[in-house]
Amino acid sequence: MAAVIGAAVGALGGLGGGWLSVMGQSRHHREQRRAERERWRDEMRRDAYTAFLAATRQLNAALWKAADQLSAQAAPPAEWQAALSETHDAWARFSTASSAVAVVGPAAVAATAADLHRAMREWEMIGVKWIRAAIRDGEPHVDDYRARFAATAGAKQIPLASFQQAAREALQTEH
């Protein structure tokens, strides 16, 4: 009888130990999958934020280049048309990058990206109106647009800084 009880206790102990081992491995795998998902998410966010900032800088450069050409008043209208095309291309890249940030989040970063998107859109619209007026009339209209262009260019600085701060917080790169 003692042998049977001993065998039963041994079998139950073995089963219990095996069960605990399986449960521990399962928990470890869940934690590992969660950690991998967080790394993947952070990588996606980092890539989206970097692309958004790069596209912001490209649009910034295209708009200032166009403004410089118009302000110099020596550039031929063909260069104004090229500047308009470059601005449209830069806007398309910026808008695409902005959409990626809206998707990868989190909500606080997406909201600051939307604020920057609006500020850049206002600036881009002034710049495009300026270029189109110059192309249409064959003259640069510097006095009509330069002050509004500069004001909307300045208005993007706070949303840009807010986006960068929110991105650092989301990626936990502040410490």
- The domain total for the chain is 1
28 within a domain of the structure (yes/no)? no
22 within a domain of the structure (yes/no)? no
49 within a domain of the structure (yes/no)? yes
Distance CA 96, CA 55 (A): 9
pLDDT in tens, the chain (175 residues): 766 666 666 666 666 666 667 677 777 778 888 889 999 999 999 999 999 999 999 999 999 999 999 988 677 888 999 999 999 999 999 999 999 999 999 999 999 999 999 999 999 999 999 999 999 998 888 898 999 999 999 999 999 999 999 999 999 987 6
What per-residue confidence (pLDDT) applies to 11?
Answer: 64
Alpha-helical segments (H) within 73-106: 77-104
pTM of the model: 0.82
Q: Which domain holds residue 146?
A: 41-171
Type of residue numbered 10: G
